Amino acid sequence: MEKLKQTAKHNASRIKQYIFSFLSWTIIALLTGAMGGLLGAGFRWAVNYVTDVRTANPWLHYLLPVGGLAIAFLYRITKLSGHADTNLIINSVRTDSKVPILLAPVIFVSTVITHLFGGSAGREGAALQLGGCIGSFFGRAFRLSEKDLPIAVMCGMSGLFSALFGTPLTATVFAMEVISVGIFYYSAFLPCIVSALTAYSITTLFGLEATSYTLTDFPALNLPNIALTAVIGIAAAVVSMIFCIALEQTHKAAAKFLKNEYLRTAVGGAAIVLLTLILGYRYNGIGGDVITEAVVHGEALPYDFILKMVFTVITIGFGYKGGEIIPTFFIGSTMGAVIAPLLGLPAQFGAAVGLIALFCAVVNCPIASIILSIELFGSKGLIFFAIALVVSYMLSGYYSLYSGQKIMYSKRRARYINRNAK
């Protein structure tokens, strides 16, 4: 009888612990998601607004070097130059390193400046950094332990990602998967999904629509078409390696030969201005219109994906801020739209597959990529998307947009490797 009482007491204590953890994480996630939703809505509005201003005033493109000087100045006076980027947020999840709260306003303003003057960048890099700052802030405010603080950081990342893209489930899984490839932080599932859904709900209150596309032209599900779709995955793997290597080497070369950050951003900005004078404005900014042309209408120029890579590599490599994922969408969709007709596949279908496959290859997140394909394009072509992305995932090696990412298990065999992404 005494043993039964002790067992019951022990079980009651454990139930209380689970309830307390559930309520605690729900409250933290709601607060983080609410802040992330408000900040994400403001960030989306700001980027969209300056994009419209730049479109209406094309001469602003030629002031990009001045914008670069402003960005360098912001990072210099806040002492964030050097390593204050998305890798800092990723590393903070695995270590006890702190995320400086000052990074949030600096990356916000710097990304807006980049888009105002036509740098080729996205906004998700800033989102992950903003989200990490918010999560870290609430984690410290609730005095979480060193083991729980990283979950709060992932919670913030999922909230901001969801607010910007309107894909809450992708945001949830991406934050859990991108840190260490091969390991899922299941303890972060509840806070991440609550934060993502909260942030998404808040953005809808401001009338901000989720990113999605309607695809109707799918090929027949048979082995020949599956094999042809895999070819797009192979192309995505090759392009992803070129893109990641180019980003890394350009950043290293720029830092080596142009040690002064003011000179570095000014030279990079001048290079983009020169390319813009030659090629026009098609590759400046986010490039959302081109992505839509490729996915919805199957229209893309044969060299679109190459030139977007060049613009993005120079912009990010020389110190401008934003992110690489939306440029990846541009590169992947235009590449797929060009390759698919050569294989006898619909161009719109190829654009969608290329977008998902390249995203997977550069972030090494196959589960998040599968979910993203559903949230962006629906579930009808799920088998095709899955085939392309697993091919691109395996063949892209250990390259990544984020050098702070850890590859925990080999892509070729069931072997623990624990190595940094390239």
Q: Helix/strand/coil (H, E, C) string of 5-67?
A: HHHHHHHHHHHHHHHHHHHHHHHHHHHHHHHHHHHHHHHHHHHHHHHHHHHHCHHHHHHHHHH
The residues near 67 (Cβ < 8 Å, ≥ 6 apart) are 113, 114, 116, 117, 119, 269, 320
CA end-to-end span of the chain: 60
What pLDDT is recorded for position 60? 95
What is d(CA 211, CA 302) in angstroms, rounded to the nearest whole number?
A: 25
- Backbone torsions φ then ψ of 55, nearest 5 degrees: -65, -40
Smallest Cα–Cα separation from 313: which of 261, 262, 267, 244? Answer: 244
Q: Rounded distance, CA 160 to CA 40, Å? A: 6
Q: Give pLDDT, residue 17.
A: 84
Task: State residue 93's pLDDT score.
Answer: 63
pTM of the model: 0.93
State the pLDDT at residue 7.
67
pLDDT (0 to 100) of residue 4: 63
Which residues are within 8 A (CB) of 243 and not within 5 positions of it... i.e. 6 or more apart? Answer: 309, 312, 313, 328, 331, 362
What's the CA gap between 406 and 422, in Å, rounded? 10
Rounded to whole angstroms, how far apart are CA atoms 116 and 113? 5
What structural domains does the chain harbor? 24-205 (1.10.3080.10), 223-420 (1.10.3080.10)
Sheet with 406-409, strands from edge to edge, namely 180-181, 406-409, 416-420
pLDDT at 35: 93
Give me the helices (H) in 95-143, please: 103-116, 124-141
Q: How far is residue 227's CA from residue 234's CA, in Å, rounded to a whole number?
A: 11
Neighbour tally for 172: CB within 10 Å: 29
- Burial-class residue 299 by CB neighbours within 10 Å (0-12, 13-18, 19+): middle
CB contact at 8 A, 406 and 365: no
User: Tens digit of pLDDT per residue, the chain (422 long)?
Assistant: 666 666 666 677 788 888 888 999 999 999 999 999 999 999 989 999 999 999 999 999 999 999 999 999 999 898 876 655 677 677 666 566 666 778 888 888 999 999 999 999 988 777 788 888 888 888 888 888 878 888 898 999 999 999 988 899 999 999 999 888 888 888 899 999 999 999 999 999 988 887 888 888 899 999 999 999 999 999 999 999 999 999 999 999 999 999 999 999 999 999 999 999 999 999 999 999 999 999 999 999 999 999 999 999 999 999 999 888 999 999 999 999 999 999 999 999 999 999 999 999 999 999 999 999 999 999 899 999 999 999 999 999 999 998 878 888 888 888 888 888 87
Residue 252: CB atoms within 10 Å: 11
Q: Residue 419 is inside which H or E element, if any?
A: strand 416-420
* Residues near 400 by beta carbon (within 8 Å), at least 6 away in sequence: 244, 362, 363, 364, 421, 422
Do the Cβ atoms of 86 and 404 come closer than 8 Å?
A: yes
Distance (Å, whole) CA 25 – CA 17: 12
